[in-house]
Each structure stands twice: as structure tokens, then as C-alpha cells.
């Protein structure tokens, strides 16, 4: 297993099915913050369903179509980031994130997202990294801004949650976008 230090006692590591108990405890702590934004949070309500969520991402990783990573702070899982989708042939991937209150306001999610962007663009040769979020999820759009993404537009009524339709903002970063030394994929 690998671990990427994020600074301040935090690290980024893969989240795998054998960690379902720890993942469920974390999602229970994070549920109020993430349920409106992350569809699998509402479905991860017991050990079996948490394991299904983690297995789904393990299967996506095995197919090189997605991945799930946790952010641990001083040994406690406090958030994560993921490749919601990953398509090397098309040169496009989508990144998402989440955090419980103990993992917020420390720059951990932004640091973790930068690691994923760098890997996608530099190592895997992806051309376009996407970010999608509801317009009212200002924490998520703030991360997109901080990592240098541009807002492409809004997909009206494209996201269903709790039986209601919501808009989705689409943000992106292209491999050909000019970047400064401070940008993530430099």
C-alpha cells in the first residue's frame, strides 16, 4: 500500500473494502456534511452497504475506470477524494471529494485533489480533468477554483438526489491550460 503525505500529520491512501468498518464510522461522522452531495454516502448506512461502496470503487480501480482514496489525519479517516470516472482512451477523468468536520478548513482536500490531478495529467496523460458539483455546494466549487479549474457552465436539472432534480456546475482543467508554479499539475 502507498501513502502520500499531505502535511500536518495527514496522508492520502487508497480506501479498500477491508476498511469498511473504519469507512462507515467516518461516513457516520460526515453524513450531515456529505449526504446532499455524494450519492453513495446515503447508501452507506451499515457495514454491508459500506463494503459494497468500497468494493464498487475497487472494481473501478481494477478496470482502470475510477479510484477512491481516503485522507487520514493523525491516523483517523477524515475525508477523501476520488476519480468518479477515469477514461484514458478518451483522455477525461472526473474528480470528487468529501470531508467530515474534523477534516475541513485545513487544506487537506485541496492538497489531495492536487495529487490526483498531477497523477492524471502527468503520469496517465489525461487531457481533461473535470469537477462537477451542485451550484449551492460552495465548498466544492471553492476547491475547484483553488486547484486552478475553470467553470465551464451549468447542466440544468442533471442531478437527482432525494427525489429532486438539481443543476450541476462543470469545472475543468486541461493539460494545455497555462499554469503557474503554484498550480497543481506543474
C-alpha cell, 7: 502535511
Strands 92-99 and 150-161: unpaired
Which stretches of 16-137 are DSSP H helices?
20-34, 39-43, 47-62, 108-118
d(CA 84, CA 98): 12
Torsion sign, CA atoms 77, 139, 132, 157 = positive
Torsion sign, CA atoms 20, 22, 26, 28 = positive
Torsion sign, CA atoms 23, 24, 27, 29 = negative
Q: Is the pTM of this model over 0.85?
A: yes
pLDDT tens digit sequence for 13-24: 999 999 999 999
The pLDDT score that the predictor gives to residue 37 is 81
d(CA 131, CA 95): 6
What structural domains and CATH numbers belong to the chain? 4-174 (3.40.630.30)
Spans of the chain, pLDDT less than 50: 181, 184-186
pLDDT tens digit sequence for 58-98: 999 999 999 999 999 999 999 999 999 999 999 999 999 99
Which stretches of 64-130 are DSSP H helices?
108-118
The pLDDT score that the predictor gives to residue 179 is 67
Amino acid at each position: 500500500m502507498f501513502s502520500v503525505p499531505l502535511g500536518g500529520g495527514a496522508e492520502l491512501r487508497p480506501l479498500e473494502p477491508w476498511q469498511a468498518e473504519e469507512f462507515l464510522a467516518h461516513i457516520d461522522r460526515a453524513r450531515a456534511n456529505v449526504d446532499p452531495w455524494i450519492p453513495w454516502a446515503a447508501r452507506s448506512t451499515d457495514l454491508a452497504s459500506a463494503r459494497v461502496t468500497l468494493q464498487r470503487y475497487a472494481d473501478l480501480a481494477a478496470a482502470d475506470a475510477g479510484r477512491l482514496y481516503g485522507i487520514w489525519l493523525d491516523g483517523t479517516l477524515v475525508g477523501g477524494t476520488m476519480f468518479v470516472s477515469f477514461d484514458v482512451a478518451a483522455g477525461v477523468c472526473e474528480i470528487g471529494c468529501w470531508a467530515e468536520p474534523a477534516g475541513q478548513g485545513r487544506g487537506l482536500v485541496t492538497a489531495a485533489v492536487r495529487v490526483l490531478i498531477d497523477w492524471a495529467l502527468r503520469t496517465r496523460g489525461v487531457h481533461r480533468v473535470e469537477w462537477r458539483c451542485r451550484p449551492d455546494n460552495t465548498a466544492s466549487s471553492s476547491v475547484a477554483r483553488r486547484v486552478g479549474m475553470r467553470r465551464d457552465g451549468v447542466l440544468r436539472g442533471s442531478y437527482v438526489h432525494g427525489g429532486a432534480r438539481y443543476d450541476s456546475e462543470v469545472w475543468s482543467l486541461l493539460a494545455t491550460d497555462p499554469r503557474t508554479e503554484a498550480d497543481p499539475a506543474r
